[in-house]
Structure 1
């Protein structure tokens, strides 16, 4: 029985799955009884681990996931998530309401708070390399916090778009 709704965001070393890797997969699982944030990091990012996490998921929500997150996951892990779960890309729901731009720009327009205003996708790549090349756990913690904000703000965005 698939009982969770999930919010998913990935961090990568670049924009092309051919030349880049997934560094973090953040998934926030939620139902009426419980919620949990799971972050797969580096070598934990396997098809087995991802499929295990989503086996009880009914719907996954992303922002630009149709064009980035899901194709990247498919390319790197061989998993077409849309064959396992329903997927809603909130970016298209935003477009229906005249809200264009990246997630951060839409968050600004809707008044969704973000603590790590200075961190973006480019900085996320730098943080990953600081962690992997210099064993910098502060960089890893900042990257994970950035990913957590992205994932949790997807939930807030969905609530604002659907009015609940």
Structure 2
């Protein structure tokens, strides 16, 4: 499903009205017919479509991300699949005011990069990586990863953001990232270590154990890379449940 299939970013259009538009064959902006809704709402939709085309031409997803509920931002993904950056961090604790970010991994276009505290993890590096991405995808990043980076590295994360935890809940996938991976049969090569282990590994590295850092990095990279197949599967399932199901019954 693409942004151009969506009408819920329009003020006054909820899921019920959007579904009614789809049921009348208006499944794309190109198909819009103002006779299906009232004049005022039709004017709003037409303005939204005109502005939306300009935003897409400029590669600007921010207005759509701001207008869509968190559980519906998965709709942005298909438009910028190749420019999407998957991000995951490791920290020394849960409180950004007194704990540190130790590693940050970013996966985009088949390549994974990892930055390490006191080595190459800097505000400028993070800002550059995020600014070059059209879409940011995390798991629980809205409440954890992004606030941590903003607090510890004074980075202003303005990249349109999909927190996978919310669309996962929409399709009945609850729990942490690893539990959901297991439910979907997404495999990882890393042993099953926890966030607490990640803290331990960092402290072992600080005491001189380079192998502990290697394990921590491998763990962080696995979390990041596995978000891509998870995003693919969740977006596909939601496309079928939200969009294709209406077309089948229309």
Aligned equivalents of 1:113 and 1:161: distance in 2?
16
Paired residues for 1:79-158 under 5 Å: 79-81=155-157, 83=158, 85-133=159-207, 135-158=208-231
Residue 21 of structure 1 corresponds to: 100
List per-residue Cα deviations over 1:33-59 (Å, max 9, x = no partner): xx3211110122221110122221100
Give the 3-state SS of the residue equivalent to 1:118 in structure 2: coil
Is 1:46–2:119 an aligned residue pair?
no
RMSD across aligned C-alpha pairs, in angstroms?
A: 1.6
Give the 3-state SS of the residue equivalent to 2:134 in structure 1: strand
Aligned equivalents of 1:121 and 1:115: distance in 2?
17
Aligned equivalents of 2:221 and 2:229: distance in 1?
12
Greater relative contact order structure (CA < 8 Å, 6+ sep): 1
Aligned equivalents of 2:169 and 2:236: distance in 1?
16
Residue 154 of structure 2 corresponds to: 78
- When you count strand as a share of all residues, which structure comes out higher? 1
TM-score by length of 1: 0.90
Give the 3-state SS of the residue equivalent to 2:165 in structure 1: helix
Aligned equivalents of 1:37 and 1:118: distance in 2?
20
Task: Tell me how many residue pairs correspond in the alignment.
Answer: 157
Residue 30 of structure 2 corresponds to: none
Runs (5+) with no aligned partner, structure 1: none
Runs (5+) with no aligned partner, structure 2: 1-57, 60-81, 238-250
Detail structure 1 runs of 4+ shifted over 4 Å in the superposition: none
